[in-house]
Structure 1
Amino acid sequence: MEILPDIRAHVTRCFFFMLVLFCLAPCVIAQQPAAGNEFDALKQRLIKDGFAPEKIQNILTKDTVSFSPAGVSMFFVHSESSLNYDQFLSKDSIANAFQYMADHKKALDQAQEIYGVDKTVITAILLVETRLGNYLGNQTVINTLATMASLTDETLRERIWNAIPDQKKPEKDTFLKKVTLRAKWGYEELKALIRYTDREGVDPKTIRGSYAGAMGIPQFMPSNALTLAKDGNNDDSIDLFDHSDAIFSVANYLKHHGWDPGISRQRQHEVLFRYNHSNYYVDTLMKISDRLKEG
């Protein structure tokens, strides 16, 4: 049957349109990282910065480390002011802190003597950070940091944006500014994690922590673990999931940032603020410490 001219022209246009789409498809696909390859650019960046290619390829394999929009998106909706710090001043929480001080008396006494930091302050930090080691976080730290570090890529940033629930989305400009800063921060923390775990002989893929990448009983970021964490049990290793190491590490962190025996209450507040930039957080630590001193 003969095709009418107008129909024939329509078919020709459709064919031409489909041909154009076919030709452009590889370009569109090339602009977006393929599933499982989100970290390819990150791998090359780490190798360029001096990490051994074999090590990086082994660490950032798609079978064990994954891009984590759901976890990292929490970072952009978290609000410190919304946290209920008063829960740590409850009768049960303070009782648990007293028991912790009894159970770990030797390490706390030694840390207080060596670093000059009151053991009640160390205990207060561990109580608020991880309920004295009972809640350590359930995010894989390297997933979090690798995801954060890869957010220099526009497509990957958009995936994080889309993972934030609509009712919790910040202004887009605010989000993008924070992403820019946190991508740089995440990259530095990722490098610190690799160096720290390499030094301690630990597989970085086994470490779990908070939505922000903090790890261990004191919730240290990897950069602090690398530079300020201490061996509290003299086993020639630093394990932030060990209570003695955690206690010594907190004490050293506070001393490093200016804690001295007999410092004023205002100066105590300033030093503790370095641990978590929240006045509400610091006020809670000082109230816990006061109650523990009262006995």
Structure 2
Amino acid sequence: MKRFILLLCCTLALAGTVRAKTPDQLRNEFINDMVKRHGFKRDDLTKTLHQAVTQKRILEAISRPAEKTLNWTEYRAIFLKPERIHGGVDFWRQHADTLARAEKEYGVPPQIIVAILGVETRYGAFTGGHRVLDALHTLGFHYPRRGEFFREQLSHFLRFAKEEDIAPTMPTGSYAGAMGMPQFMPDSFRVYAVDFDGDGHRDIWENPVDVIGSVANYFVKKGNWKRGGPVTTPASSVTGKHKAFVDAGAKPRLTATQLSSAGIKFDDSIATGGKVSLMDFKTDTGTEYWVGSNNFYSIMRYNPRTKYAMAVYQLSEAILAEYQQGLDAQKTAGKQP
């Protein structure tokens, strides 16, 4: 029996060793796949990948995302600042016509599009200083936890660089390989980026018109955004007995009737968006509870963290309020003799 157990342990250990592939093995498999499936030339692709630099700071950054390390009070304070709100209003004023056209075509309100850009890159001011090639190569071959995902992103990146005739060593982005003003991952660029100004190119780095159209298209095509639908509303009278509702997750699976019948108080107009979710946000002074709709979950399709989506929503509301105040002031001034 002992011999059998020893043999079994050795077999399992050997199996684990076989499964653990080295970065070089993974890279060779990746090259073979790109040559076979996508028609890349082996020598050219090998030279491109040899130009990638493995970055230790990228591995450090991805291990401590702010969404996991900060509570809601701390996280909110990063984005709900006067300068970011003012910047959103300025961006809206500069691109009002394009934002209005995007809302007409896609149904996504201007303030949501603007807030996404505000949270992601502060309206294009900070798009990331890492070469996308370095980021995706580092995470694809040296980050086993999500290596498969980043190798797929590297595949999309190399394909769109070829399609758009861009040198793969040129684009820069975040430590995770997100690109341009809206921080699209390479697969999102290939699927959701649009040529909104009709010049024959999809430019999410320098062209705000394409950026606005691309974000709106993303929300509809991937996020299933509902035109005119609610986003989220505060909830009260939530106690420990409602834990199962919170544990159900941010994807809308509950009905408003379920929540109200359980004694939870909230604006029931959120029910016009269909099913809902109950979310908790830890703060410095306690816990906030919010009821989310399909449109809140749509924001999470951009980044699957409730704190991220709530930051986008609350920033959008602050931008909308200030933008509207400006319009009201203009109307008042225009009526003065």
When normalised by structure 2's length, the TM-score is 0.64
2:317 corresponds to: 290
Q: Whose Rg is larger? A: 1
The answer to whether the Cα contact below 8 Å between 1:86 and 1:284 also exists between their aligned partners in 2 is no
Shift of 1:39: 4.5
Deviations 1:222-260 (A, max 9, x none): 000010111122111111112111111110010112112
Of 207-216 and 48-57, more deviation after overlay is shown by 48-57
Task: Tell me, in whole angstroms, the C-alpha distance in 2 between the residues paired with 1:238 and 1:55.
Answer: 25
Task: Tell me, in whole angstroms, the C-alpha distance in 2 between the residues paired with 1:32 and 1:81.
Answer: 29
Give the counterpart letter for 1:51 in structure 2: G
Deviations 1:144-172 (A, max 9, x none): 11222224xxxxx6xxxxxxxxxxxxxxx
Task: Tell me, in whole angstroms, the C-alpha distance in 2 between the residues paired with 1:211 and 1:75.
Answer: 7
Task: Tell me, in whole angstroms, the C-alpha distance in 2 between the residues paired with 1:65 and 1:85.
Answer: 35
Shift of 1:72: 2.8
Task: Tell me, in whole angstroms, the C-alpha distance in 2 between the residues paired with 1:129 and 1:185.
Answer: 21
2:76 corresponds to: 85
Higher strand share: 2
2:57 corresponds to: 70
Give the counterpart letter for 1:56 in structure 2: L
1:124-273 to 2 correspondences below 5 Å: 124-151=115-142, 179-180=144-145, 182-241=146-205, 242-256=207-221, 257-265=223-231, 266-273=293-300
Highest RCO, 1 vs 2 (Cα 8 Å, sep ≥ 6): 1
Task: Report the CA distance shift for 1:278/1:33 in structure 2 as closer, same or farther (over 3 A).
Answer: closer
Aligned-residue sequence identity (percent) comes to 27
Task: Name the SS of the counterpart of 1:80 in structure 2.
Answer: helix
RMSD over equivalenced CA pairs, Å: 2.3
Deviations 1:76-129 (A, max 9, x none): 232413353323222221111100101112221111111110011000000000
Task: Report the CA distance shift for 1:194/1:287 in structure 2 as closer, same or farther (over 3 A).
Answer: same
Task: Tell me, in whole angstroms, the C-alpha distance in 2 between the residues paired with 1:94 and 1:78.
Answer: 23
Task: Name the SS of the counterpart of 2:169 in structure 1.
Answer: helix
Task: Tell me, in whole angstroms, the C-alpha distance in 2 between the residues paired with 1:149 and 1:32.
Answer: 12
What count of residue pairs does the alignment treat as equivalent? 234
Of 213-222 and 40-49, more deviation after overlay is shown by 40-49
2:96 corresponds to: 105
Unmatched 5+ residue regions in structure 2? 1-20, 232-292, 325-337
